Chain A
Amino acid sequence: MMKDRFGAKNQRTWLMRFHTQTAGVSLPAQQPMNNIARVAIQALAAVLGGTQSLHTDSYDEALALPTEEAARIALRTQQIIAYESGVTQTVDPLGGSYFLENLTLQMENGTFDYFGKMDAMGGMVKAIERGYPQKEIAESSYLYQRAVEAKEKIIVGVNEFAIEEESPHILYIDESVARQQSEKLKNLRARRSNDEVRRALDALKKAAAQEPKAAASGTISSANTMPHIVDAVRAYATVGEICEALRQVYGTYTEVSIT
């Protein structure tokens, strides 16, 4: 793609590095310990797929933020795959599998079909503005949900093999964090130079309003917002203040209706 479509010459540009996370959506709240098995299977798939980095979900993710124990089991699952399963000992162990190579080709062909459709729409931003990918996803999601409700797709412990159970121990975050953060903000605004913050934010707004163009090699566009954001951060401007400055220049977005 990078080579054929964009004329990239560097092989580092052609290759794809990717991170994988196991599917949070596949982890139900019912019988949450079963999720340890699901995560292990999904993580194995990611490693067999050649991922460069991996996040394994904690089994209690559908309920709340992971407890320390759940976070540790998730990490241990990765370690068992890396150090015990044996799949890391040989390069791409499933390469050449008839099944896998057939699926890979189906994915590749299907992907290029979608590319053709979205090229015809004038690119992804245009496709989003007319709700195309949103509509495609909503339809797939509906078909899957319908199959689950009809028990045509089985989710163990949810629509089959369900049991009565008590609610498990979960990590609960109370409002004290909000109070603590608000207190810190109050102190910060009293301590920092608010003039300096204002100057940095004004400079950011000015740059944000201009059209950036790549300059001669060795420098970056004079209207690039990053150096101004770095200055604002150094002056201890807050996330809210910097985003508000950009909201004033760019406005906010409301989604197109896809129905």
Chain B
Amino acid sequence: MQKKPFNPPQVADSPIADVFENRHPSEAEKKWAEKTLAPTLEKAPERPIGAPNGVNVDDQGNARFTTVSGVPIRRLYTQADLPTDWSEEQYLGYPAQPPFTRGIHATGYRGKLYTMRQFSGFASPEETNQRYKYLLEHGGSGLSVAFDLPTLMGYDSDHPASEGEVGKCGVAIDSLEDMEILFNGIDLEKTTVSMTINSPASVLWAMYLVVAEKQGADWQKISGTIQNDILKEYIAQKEYIYPPAPSMRLVIDTFEFGSKFTPRFNTISISGYHIREAGSTALQELAFTLYDGVEYVEWARRRGLDVDEFGPRLSFFFNAHNAPPARSGIA
């Protein structure tokens, strides 16, 4: 075995070694580590959150701290944890300007709060319609439809495969008639509706559009979202019907249709949520989801669609777990 050519300086076995590893502390920080931190650690060693073994200790036996995704967390973050060329102008920019790290609106939430969109749906369309009216009366600002398992898998309520599942985890929708009941008395030109539907997304979306039309709403004006993200079904959620290639083709059909007829409707919500729910780390959630986005764009371009025509209609969906707020403005 070849010996390592370089050993870290005298601090190698010191409890404050981590202050010097893979970062560039200022003179003041070094001084703080030696004069203030080191004596404290000597008097009162750090204690891990949770059992003092496995992921919670390093090979010297010191306490180790990690996020829920297992990412190691330092005791203290300073300028020394950012790249040496880090500057606000280059890395952050300003709100509503590329790279949009500080958000997409110049005034943040001061001009427009986030949409409070509670996902719900259960039992029959009649009962769910009542819940929607209740949520809207109590200050909810958008609707989000949960469908039952048979609907998600493309089966009618009277199909043998649906037995025991009708209306259990969401609302049962079989035909246009049910969709008419679901949105009875709810103005679809004024309410934005999100629908968690994937493999049969084009069918449920078509029903929604026809209901809107029957209400007298203008397709050019209605706004909302269909999840329509089949890739994460194969990756994590497992509610797919057809093989990947024809499924992708159906998704691109909705992009093309939407960019012509429903310019304010989000024809996809590229979803990391279910990937995280399946046990991924935050990084895997972000990476696989953004890469799913890349795949949809590749397929759409192969169809001959213009990226600037359907691109603005791509939306994303992430999971907020017990972890620090991750920045996501890097699309």
- Footprint of B on A, CB under 8 Å? 1-3, 5-26, 38, 41-56, 65-66, 68, 71-72, 74-75, 78-79, 82, 88-92, 94-108, 110-111, 113-115, 118, 123-125, 128-129, 133-134, 136-138, 140-147, 150-154, 171, 173, 175, 177-178, 180-182, 184-186, 188, 208, 212-214, 218-221, 224-227, 229-230, 232-234, 236-244, 246-247, 249-253, 255
Contact = CB atoms under 8 A, between A and B. Distances in A.
14 contacts: A19-B316, A22-B320, A38-B322, A45-B325, A50-B327, A71-B120, A75-B116, A75-B135, A92-B103, A110-B283, A133-B275, A136-B284, A225-B250, A236-B176
Interface string B140-164: 1010100000010011111100111
A184 B178 contact: yes
Contacts of A221: 253, 256, 303
B189 interface: no
Q: By DSSP majority rule, is chain A's interface helix, strand, loop, or mixed?
A: helix
Contact of B119 (A55, A78, A144): A55
Contacts of A52: 104, 114-115, 315
B280 interface: yes
Contact of A143 (B70, B167, B316): B70
A137 B286 contact: no
Given A144-B70, A243-B200, A214 B134 contact: no
B123 A188 contact: no
Nearest to A49: B325
Nearest to A118: B291
Interface in B222-263: 225, 231, 234-236, 238, 240-250, 252-254, 256-257, 260
Contact of A253 (B82, B110, B241, B295): B241
A178 B164 CA distance: 8
A181 B124 contact: yes
B158 A2 contact: no
Contacts of B79: 98
Contact of A2 (B162, B311, B326): B311
A217 B257 CA distance: 12
Contact of A180 (B100, B103, B105, B124): B124
B53 A103 contact: no
A181 B174 contact: yes
B11 interface: no
A72 B118 CA distance: 10
Contacts of A21: 119, 273, 317-320
B129 interface: no
Contacts of B278: 137, 141
A212 B249 contact: yes
Nearest to B79: A98
Interface residues of B, number: 157
B304 interface: yes
A123 B298 contact: yes
A213 B252 CA distance: 11
Given A19-B316, A42-B322, A229-B202, A129 B108 contact: no
A129 B235 CA distance: 10
Contact of A152 (B55, B69, B287, B315): B55
Interface stretch (B1-9, B13-21, B36-44, B87-95): B87-95
Contact of A240 (B156, B176, B202, B320): B156
A91 B203 CA distance: 39
Nearest to B310: A13
B183 interface: no
Given A128-B235, A152-B51, A239-B154, A82 B116 contact: yes
Contacts of B318: 18-21, 46, 51
Contact of A255 (B98, B138, B234, B321): B234
Closest CB pairs A-B (n = 7): A141-B279, A243-B154, A214-B304, A91-B108, A16-B331, A240-B156, A13-B311
Nearest to B72: A106
A222 to B, nearest CB: 11
A42 B54 contact: no
A213 B301 CA distance: 11
B61 interface: no
B177 interface: yes
A68 B134 contact: yes
B35 to A, nearest CB: 21
Centre residue among A1, A91, A136, A154 by max chain B CB count within 10 A: A91
B297 A79 contact: no
B51 A185 contact: no
Contacts of B77: 97-99, 102
